[in-house]
Structure 1
Amino acid sequence: MPDIKFPRWARDLFVPARYKLLNGGRGGGKSWAVASALTLQGAQRPLRVICGREFQKSIQESVHQLLCDSIHRNGLSNLYDVKDTKILGKNNTEFIFTGLARNIDSIKSIEGIDIVWIEEAQTISQKSLDFLRPTIRKKDSELWFTWNPDDENDPIQLLKNSLVIDQEQKAIIKKITWRDNLWFPEELNKERLHCLRTNPAQYNHIWEGDFIQSLSEFFKEECFLVDNKPVETPLHINLVFATVDTTLKGGEGKDGTAVCYWGLNTFDENYPLILLDWDLVELEGYLLKDWMNSVVYPNLEILAVQTQAIRGSAGAYVEDKAVGTVLIQQAMSQGLDVYAIDSKLTALGKDRRCILISDVVREGKVKFTFHAYYKTTKFRGITRNHLVKQVVSFSPGDKEADKRQDDLLDAFAYGVAIGLKDSLVDAIE
């Protein structure tokens, strides 16, 4: 066997234990060490390893490539046969990849599981944990979890806390940060220091593995302005699109349906995404089809003309759940440009979505037009700019967030993620 170097903390990965829980911040090398340890152990003796995460739509979203890289890097290529969806050892070791949210029942049919490795365990549901723990029952089988902490009440954190108390269960629990990575690259260190200088409020969460804290002014209003003023509606942009957060139970006094209208403007690298308009309505679900046809799509065409959008309207991105699923099907049947917002994005949850887009917002890449900034509407008896109110009032970790009206915040976060973090920019370049 090749001589593979591991950091000191990773030696415990070779110590038998029912639970191995590794949490911490970015750059600690947790996943790298686990991939190396598993492929080395799998080369030494036959193992059946399930590699899972809560949400996995394709093999590209799994740790398949990470394990492949580990095999090649550590000189184990002659001991493994890498398939498109599996990794097989010459000694009958097998790595299987699955998403728990959709395929967890399939694990029941897999006999003789030695190790389960759950990556990004901060997203694992209580349902998945409750299923896995009694299902993985082979003698000396192990459950490995790696994650960057988000909330102290996440199921994986509650499991960790219970294992600290329960001394009957053999558990190895470690917090790993960038300081524990002997090969922490200089380029990554520059990113760490940049975060410390420019985003100190999130530094401890991102790099030190602390929980998301409740922060005032997470999205500062000034980030959306230029010299404390909104921007003019641009006269030449690439395209316009809308993001729609649909209601679960529509009607007066219930959830609202929110839409944000966006202009993608890569001609201006300083602020490539501009919020052109927004709306927040109280409608019964059966009326939303007419609202989409008579309001959302016509507004997109008007905005495409106003901004002289080269590619016109890219259509509407709609949250694919509840009424939204029906709206998507109806729009498609009419030949309208409509897209389901990626389930990876909707599944993140509000805090994680807002953290995802926080860097581009703080860099000033998202701006509000005069119209969007000064617009007011009446919703639930209150007249104000509901968009600005919801966005600048957001705080990660806010325990009361679910009780507040924040549909526009969701539509806003979806729009920024799609415009600057997803595929729209790539599509026009």
Structure 2
Amino acid sequence: MVEVQIAKAYQDLFIPARYKMFYGGRGGAKSWGFATALIIMAARKKLRVLCAREFQKSLKDSVHQLLCDSIDRCGLTYFFKPQNTEIIGRNGSEFTFIGLARNIASMKSAEGFDIVWVEEAQTISQRSIDFLRPTIRKSNSELWFGWNPDDENDPIQLLKNSLEIDQEQKSIIKKVTWRDNPWFPEVLNKERLHCLRTNPAQYNHIWEGDFITSLSEFFKEKDLLIDGQPIETPEYINSVFAVIDTTLKGGEGKDGTGIIYLGYNQFDPAIPLVILDWDLMELEGNLLSTWLKTVYEHIEILSQETKAIHGIAGIFIEDKAVGSILLQDAISDRRDDVFAIDSKLTALGKDKRCILISDVVNSGKVKITQRAYNKTVIFRKISRNHLMKQILSFTPGDKEADKRQDDLLDCFSYGVAIGLKDSLKNVRE
């Protein structure tokens, strides 16, 4: 083993503690610090290490390669043998890799691990945290979390806050940034300075580890309000319609099913589109057909409340996965007002759809009612207005977007395009 230097900020990783939580901005070398410390510790004594993240489609998404690079840097290639799904040390140490979101139920032997390292912990669900804490129960076992903060209400942030005031738990909690990386490369420093000059609103989140709520919003809350307040439900509108974004696989822990109810409002040309209501839930696939019938009932109620002169313009569903089943159910129910979302619109992708509708949203042509604005729903054990959260958190080019829950954002972008662009003109008729 060669002599390896570890940044001062990460030397605390060698101090025994139940929780080790390191968070902050880019360039702080959190992943390198964790990987190097774990390789050194696993070489010194036999350790079983579970390398976890919420979403992992394949080993390429894991820290497997990062650990292999750390093995090489430490001069321990003779000691550790990387295999297809794990890394094994001569002393019996082993590193195992898992995506928690889809494999947590199969972790029957998780209690035998000495250390769990959760990478990108800003995406970890409350369900996964609730599983790991009592399951990792071996004497002197540890839970390591590294992340770049997104939202102050994310489950990892709530856990961090609770541990900071819990005197019974031994915890090491540190914020680290580029300043804590003595090997911070000049090429990355130039990127940091460029961001500071050209996009100061994003700088604090990307480089200083502030919450994503500090970003300059692509969609601004004020544009959905009038004088800082949501509007009352219109007394008269032309028509109501709904947009549904369904899960790929229904059930708890899977993607959610979101719906937005909107009203096309030609009676007030300044506010042609109104968000009337929304919902977000986890449903088993076999229950979605029954749920669709409640959608029929609710949209009819909204049509009556708003005295929609053209009634229900339609219920629009993306024609894939569970959505395709719902479309078939609508045919069986002999509904002539349920449609597949135009494939040209779905093919655009999230970024292009949001950019497509940004002009009408940012010019104030879409407003939200008091009912939709004040509504909160418990989803994944978090109670909040998930619609506003998802809309206001959107940033074009966000590489982490696919890992976030954004079913309602998709409904919103589809709905505005359907209502105010040329996607489906019959909404206006």
Normalising TM by the smaller chain, what interval? 0.5 to 0.7
CA 408–10 in structure 1, closer or farther in 2 if over 3 Å, else same: closer
Q: Which AA in structure 1 matches 2:387?
A: D
Query: Residue 214 of structure 1: CA displacement?
Result: 5.4
CA 141–285 in structure 1, closer or farther in 2 if over 3 Å, else same: same
CA 17–245 in structure 1, closer or farther in 2 if over 3 Å, else same: same
Normalising by structure 2, report the TM-score.
0.58
Query: Residue 193 of structure 1: CA displacement?
Result: 1.2
Query: Residue 88 of structure 1: CA displacement?
Result: 0.7
Instruction: Give the equivalent residue in structure 1 for 2:33.
Output: 33
Query: Residue 163 of structure 1: CA displacement?
Result: 1.2
Q: Which AA in structure 1 matches 2:70?
A: S
Instruction: Give the equivalent residue in structure 2 for 1:295.
Output: none
Instruction: Give the equivalent residue in structure 2 for 1:265.
Output: none
Normalising by structure 1, report the TM-score.
0.58
Instruction: Give the equivalent residue in structure 2 for 1:64.
Output: 64
Retained in 1: the 8 A contact 2:386–2:408? no
Gap regions ≥5 residues in structure 2: 221-242, 248-257, 263-274, 278-290, 296-316, 330-341, 368-372, 374-383, 392-406, 415-429
Query: Residue 329 of structure 1: CA displacement?
Result: 9.7
Q: Which deviations, in whole Å up to 9, do the C-alpha atoms of 1:104-134 show, x marking residues without a partner?
A: 1332224521100000111111111111111
Gap regions ≥5 residues in structure 1: 221-243, 249-253, 259-279, 289-315, 331-336, 347-352, 376-383, 388-392, 394-398, 415-429
**Cα distance between partner residues in 1 of 2:59 and 2:53:** 11
**Cα distance between partner residues in 1 of 2:390 and 2:4:** 53
Instruction: Give the equivalent residue in structure 2 for 1:178.
Output: 178
- Say which SS state the counterpart of residue 167 (structure 1) adopts: coil
Query: Residue 25 of structure 1: CA displacement?
Result: 0.5
Retained in 1: the 8 A contact 2:201–2:214? no
- Note the 1:152-231 alignment, pairs <5 A: 152-213=152-213, 217-219=217-219
Query: Residue 23 of structure 1: CA displacement?
Result: 0.4
Q: Does 1:120 align with 2:115?
A: no
CA 256–28 in structure 1, closer or farther in 2 if over 3 Å, else same: same
Retained in 2: the 8 A contact 1:115–1:144? yes
Query: Residue 69 of structure 1: CA displacement?
Result: 1.1
Q: Which AA in structure 2 matches 1:246?
A: D
Q: Does 1:402 align with 2:406?
A: no
Q: Which deviations, in whole Å up to 9, do the C-alpha atoms of 1:37-71 show, x marking residues without a partner?
A: 10111111111000001111211111111111111
Query: Residue 169 of structure 1: CA displacement?
Result: 0.9
Greater displacement, 54-63 / 175-184: 54-63
Retained in 1: the 8 A contact 2:260–2:412? no
Retained in 1: the 8 A contact 2:354–2:413? no
CA 255–32 in structure 1, closer or farther in 2 if over 3 Å, else same: same
Q: Which deviations, in whole Å up to 9, do the C-alpha atoms of 1:92-112 show, x marking residues without a partner?
A: 111000111111133222452
CA 182–403 in structure 1, closer or farther in 2 if over 3 Å, else same: closer
- Say which SS state the counterpart of residue 145 (structure 1) adopts: strand
CA 61–216 in structure 1, closer or farther in 2 if over 3 Å, else same: closer
Query: Residue 402 of structure 1: CA displacement?
Result: 2.3
- Say which SS state the counterpart of residue 213 (structure 1) adopts: helix
Instruction: Give the equivalent residue in structure 2 for 1:267.
Output: none
CA 74–131 in structure 1, closer or farther in 2 if over 3 Å, else same: same
Retained in 2: the 8 A contact 1:116–1:144? yes
Instruction: Give the equivalent residue in structure 1 for 2:259.
Output: 255
CA 90–255 in structure 1, closer or farther in 2 if over 3 Å, else same: same
Retained in 2: the 8 A contact 1:245–1:318? no
**Cα distance between partner residues in 1 of 2:413 and 2:75:** 43
Instruction: Give the equivalent residue in structure 1 for 2:245.
Output: 246
Report the RMSD for the aligned CA atoms in angstroms.
4.5
Query: Residue 3 of structure 1: CA displacement?
Result: 0.8
- Say which SS state the counterpart of residue 116 (structure 2) adopts: strand
Q: Which AA in structure 1 matches 2:5?
A: K
Q: Which deviations, in whole Å up to 9, do the C-alpha atoms of 1:290-346 show, x marking residues without a partner?
A: xxxxxxxxxxxxxxxxxxxxxxxxxx98675xx43636999xxxxxx989x99xxx9
Query: Residue 386 of structure 1: CA displacement?
Result: 4.9
Retained in 1: the 8 A contact 2:24–2:175? yes
Q: Which AA in structure 2 matches 1:194?
A: H
Retained in 2: the 8 A contact 1:27–1:188? yes
Q: Which AA in structure 2 matches 1:178?
A: W
- Note the 1:9-408 alignment, pairs <5 A: 9-110=9-110, 112-213=112-213, 217-219=217-219, 246=245, 255-256=259-260, 323-324=322-323, 326=325, 368=356, 386=366, 400=385, 402=387
Retained in 1: the 8 A contact 2:48–2:113? yes
Query: Residue 138 of structure 1: CA displacement?
Result: 0.8
Retained in 1: the 8 A contact 2:20–2:143? yes
Retained in 1: the 8 A contact 2:205–2:215? no
Q: Which AA in structure 2 matches 1:186?
A: E
Q: Which AA in structure 1 matches 2:199?
A: N
**Cα distance between partner residues in 1 of 2:209 and 2:48:** 30
Q: Which AA in structure 2 matches 1:326?
A: I
CA 141–77 in structure 1, closer or farther in 2 if over 3 Å, else same: same
**Cα distance between partner residues in 2 of 1:404 and 1:53:** 23
**Cα distance between partner residues in 2 of 1:162 and 1:98:** 26
Query: Residue 404 of structure 1: CA displacement?
Result: 9.2
CA 13–403 in structure 1, closer or farther in 2 if over 3 Å, else same: closer
CA 170–65 in structure 1, closer or farther in 2 if over 3 Å, else same: same
Query: Residue 73 of structure 1: CA displacement?
Result: 2.0
CA 285–72 in structure 1, closer or farther in 2 if over 3 Å, else same: same
Q: Which AA in structure 2 matches 1:8?
A: K
**Cα distance between partner residues in 1 of 2:149 and 2:184:** 20
